[in-house]
Amino acid sequence: CDDPLSNFLSLKAFSSSSDITGSSSSAQLNWRMGTGGWSPADSNAQQWLQIDLQNRVEITAVATQ
């Protein structure tokens, strides 16, 4: 219950409008490879990050780093 959801998701669960590194999976919490975080390739208001949780889930907190 207290574990981050991203620990249980495959890298394919992460998608985005664009990514400066070429992979939106770097958005995963505590990602240690490469730049360690998601950044869009373009800087505008149309950028988005989507995470497919596979099932209906109640989100009680969102962490950023």
User: 34-48: per-residue pLDDT in tens?
Assistant: 666 778 888 999 999
- Residue 61: what pLDDT? 82
Beta strands (DSSP E) in 7-58 are 14-16, 49-51
Is 16 in contact with 35 (CB distance < 8 Å)?
no
User: 6-65: per-residue pLDDT in tens?
Assistant: 567 787 888 888 888 767 766 666 666 666 677 888 899 999 989 898 888 888 888 776
- Residue 47: what pLDDT? 92
